[in-house]
A = this chain, B = another copy of it.
């Protein structure tokens, strides 16, 4: 997460016409994989390696819910073809392939744009784009995946960046497993289920951050912290800020789904969305609590460093203040003047020692009184 994914698109696309599909993510060799899932409470059919030609707007009569899960957005022509088959707005498709796009929701009422190949209206769609955050235990970095979901009257099209694993598998498994809530509900509940899955991953990631913070806290409290610990705290703070920037608009998306009176989201799905809204709010609150905690840890670290520094300076001062005057005294009697009466005295040496010890004790008492020792 610490590595910024530079917006390489800006200078390249300067002056091009809006609605142009330009993929700007990592280079990918695989072809786009398309899954087609049709289901209702009674039955389901899953086609793992669906062809583009098998995707099309379901007819209004069918009671089956039609889900097309597109795994890969690196082939603009494939995305464009799907867009045309499901009659999606060119600007919507632009957001699907733009991995720099921040999370957002759009409500398209009717296909009114004069795209090059205008088609008959598909009815209203809800478009959601957001980010999946994966943390792989053995890797330090967080993997950010650009996800887009298009909800229509009886269909849902999902787009994800190409990865080794399809992140929506748990939901597909639930559809396969039994005729549960997911099977018995409409595509809006499917949308909820996918969002829920993504939000759950945020919470998992938050836990990991919490664990790292606990380790750093232990190091700091046990005074085993170093400059490295501090740099780690700064990285943690930056990651928390980054996560906030990803999760915050996701909350707004769910808020908009709840607030907007879209005919596509049924009343029975509302309590689930409210619940999801709760989860994401809790994640955000936890992030904020962590951010405060990180700031607090930094302050504790600084105060410990400062405190140690003060000990160092006090040691220097005490040693110097005691021995520099004594060194002066022994220097006095190291002078080679021919006439120095003390040098002749038989007890001069011992008197000198006595004076020096008295000075040292006096200084020690003084320092103890001022609380420096």
Chain A residues packing against B (C-beta within 8 Å): 4, 6-7, 10-11, 13-15, 17-19, 89, 91, 94, 100-102, 104, 106, 108, 112-114, 170-171, 173-174, 180-182, 184, 193, 196-197, 200-201, 203-204, 206-207, 210-211, 214, 221, 223, 227, 230-231, 234, 237-238, 241-242, 245, 267-268, 271-272, 274-275, 278, 281-282, 285-286, 289, 292-293, 296, 299-300, 302-317, 319-321, 323-328, 330-340, 342-349, 352, 370-372
Contacts and interface: CB of A to CB of B under 8 A. Distances in A.
B325 A206 contact: no
B338 A170 contact: no
Count identical subunits in the complex.
5
Contacts of A223: 371
Given A319-B320, A319-B324, 10 more contacts: A10-B206, A18-B196, A89-B271, A114-B181, A305-B310, A310-B312, A316-B316, A319-B321, A334-B335, A338-B348
Contact of A332 (B282, B311, B330, B345): B330
B323 A334 contact: no
Nearest to A15: B170
B201 A14 contact: yes
The 3 A-B residue pairs whose C-beta atoms are closest, nearest first, are A15-B170, A330-B331, A333-B335
20 contacts: A10-B200, A15-B173, A18-B193, A102-B278, A108-B271, A223-B371, A237-B296, A242-B289, A305-B307, A309-B313, A315-B321, A320-B324, A324-B324, A326-B328, A327-B327, A330-B334, A333-B336, A334-B336, A336-B336, A339-B349
Given A184-B114, A312-B314, A339-B349, A299 B10 contact: no
